[in-house]
Amino acid sequence: MREQSQPIVIRNGRVIDPSQGFDAIADVVVIGSAVVSIESPGTTELSDGWTEFNAKGKIVAPGFIDLHTHLRTPGQEWKEDPKTASDAAVRGGFTTICAMPNTYPAQDNASVVDALLQRCASEADVRVRLIGAITKAREGHELAPMHELADAGVIGFSDDGDPVMSAHLMRQALAYSSDLDLPVINHAEDRGLVSEWDMNEGPVATHLGLKGIPNSAESMMIARDIVLARMTNGRLHIPHVSTAESVEIIRRAKSDSINVTAEVTPHHLALTQEWVYGEYGEVPNTLTPNAYATNAKMAPPLRAEADRQALIDGLSDGTIDTIGTDHAPHADTDKICTFTEAANGIIGLETALALTVGIAGIGIETVIERFTVGPSAILNDATIGTLRPGMPADITIIDPNAEWQVTSATLGSKSRNTPLLDANVKPRVDATFVNGTKIWDANENGAADA
């Protein structure tokens, strides 16, 4: 992480900080690596050596936290590394990312975690937290040393990409999670129902002749895990919720005071199964060469419109606590192939605001809340996702009206696998500060208006 230089006053922005219930035009004063105060506009005089950032017409928010990033390091550095993940993060307004353990080797013991944390500290400009594996090598047979991993600093446990199919192992993991006060994050996909699939089960899959997976493969696993969380008093966090039935089950569990939190991705809030036609969500009269769009393939798959609406409802009523990007970089060779052969997942850090605010039309206040206090509560870390005085100056500045084009030049990731490639989107992240230092500035870096 870089060292910060001069004191800075971020002037005249609309400061939205859900951690303090603050939403007003104000100046944010940063000295060293910390936020010092939020002042009425124009009341702070510049001293010698101070700089200012004109945020008039912009939104000033705490830096975003992503609970669901795939770092691809170690083992697949041709897809992403800590530096490029960090570049992608700051372009999307993220100042903390939490990396999933499906690396090679997996993050299933302290020495692997130590090595990756050290590498991230020297290569990444953003804060990187690691999620440890639930089972050894993520194979689902034997628990990983969860206490050892917790001592090494992991912020939760997951075999993401693969579900823990054994209820017995999941029970044990949840029992340990309550001792450790760290969440177990189980990829909810019951492979006993369907083991191989291409996309959501429904009319689009039938039309395209692709193998479908029904909603119940997700909701059955979530229901099982909630029952186990109740039995063990464990901490369960459900990643990338994608169906209406799942939202309903989680809503009921929360009303029963079970210790469960939930996440939704930007793409499940914004896109549906029709994106597999490759026409930006339109249903073409006849299939075009864009059909079987592998950049619309992910796990869980893009679902039906009714599911998307239920996810938005779940986000607004608080059933869903946080938005996690599931940033999943893949090389061209993983996506320029048949739909069945293609890898699951899309990059998501840079386009998180475009999908949630721009395309799904969700209010920016809600989105900021679920990218700041939502995840910081799950991380049990009140020092991030906030602009309270004394806290690290992780700050995101958003131009709500600026458009930008998603291109190789504007993406920070090493990978290009997004269905929004070449699209003009908004809003735009204008600047991102980490620990008081400006890491990203769209105007200096040539991300001009589209």
- Residues within the interface to Zn ion (CB under 5 A): 160, 187
Order the strands of the 64-69 sheet from edge to edge.
64-69, 94-99, 127-130
Least Å from the CB of residue 219 to Zn ion: 15
Sorted by sequence, the CB contacts under 8 Å of residue 45 that are 6+ apart come out as: none
Cα 36 from chain centroid? 28
Of the two residues 198 and 399, which places its CB atom closer to Zn ion in the complex? 198
Strand partners, 185: 237
Of the two residues 418 and 437, which places its CB atom closer to Zn ion in the complex? 418
Gap between the Cα atoms of 81 and 179, Å rounded: 33
What tokens appear for 43 in the block? Answer: 């009341």
Of the two residues 268 and 428, which places its CB atom closer to Zn ion in the complex? 268
Quick one: which of 350, 342, 332, 449 has its CA closest to 401? 449
Least Å from the CB of residue 429 to Zn ion: 25
What tokens appear for 419 in the block? Answer: 């269905």
Of the two residues 162 and 394, which places its CB atom closer to Zn ion in the complex? 162
Are 371 and 19 in contact by the 8 Å Cβ rule? The answer is: no
Sorted by sequence, the CB contacts under 8 Å of residue 447 that are 6+ apart come out as: 91, 404, 410, 428
Of the two residues 28 and 260, which places its CB atom closer to Zn ion in the complex? 260
Of the two residues 187 and 370, which places its CB atom closer to Zn ion in the complex? 187
Least Å from the CB of residue 141 to Zn ion: 19
Of the two residues 188 and 368, which places its CB atom closer to Zn ion in the complex? 188
Least Å from the CB of residue 239 to Zn ion: 5
Strand (E) or helix (H) holding 27 = strand 22-31
DSSP string, 33-46: TEEEEEE-TT-PPP
Least Å from the CB of residue 138 to Zn ion: 11
Least Å from the CB of residue 445 to Zn ion: 31
Torsion of CA 127, 449, 266, 328, to 10 degrees: -60
Annotation marks residue 394 as catalytic:
no
Of the two residues 187 and 416, which places its CB atom closer to Zn ion in the complex? 187
Are 315 and 362 in contact by the 8 Å Cβ rule? The answer is: yes
Quick one: which of 359, 368, 333, 341 has its CA closest to 419? 359
Cα end-to-end span (Å), the chain: 31
- Hey, how many other C-beta atoms are within 10 angstroms of the C-beta on 43? 9
Length of the chain: 450
User: Which residue's beta carbon is nearest to the bound Zn ion?
Assistant: 187
Sorted by sequence, the CB contacts under 8 Å of residue 200 that are 6+ apart come out as: 212, 213, 215, 273, 301, 302, 303, 304
Gap between the Cα atoms of 183 and 175, Å rounded: 11
Gap between the Cα atoms of 295 and 322, Å rounded: 24
Q: Which of 326, 334, 394, 430 is catalytic?
A: 326
β-strands 428-434, 94-99 pairing: unpaired
Q: Is the dihedral of CA 280, 272, 337, 84 positive or negative?
A: positive
Least Å from the CB of residue 384 to Zn ion: 23
Least Å from the CB of residue 162 to Zn ion: 8
Least Å from the CB of residue 176 to Zn ion: 21
Q: Is the dihedral of CA 345, 65, 125, 121 positive or negative?
A: negative
Gap between the Cα atoms of 426 and 408, Å rounded: 17
Of the two residues 55 and 222, which places its CB atom closer to Zn ion in the complex? 222
Catalytic center residues: 326
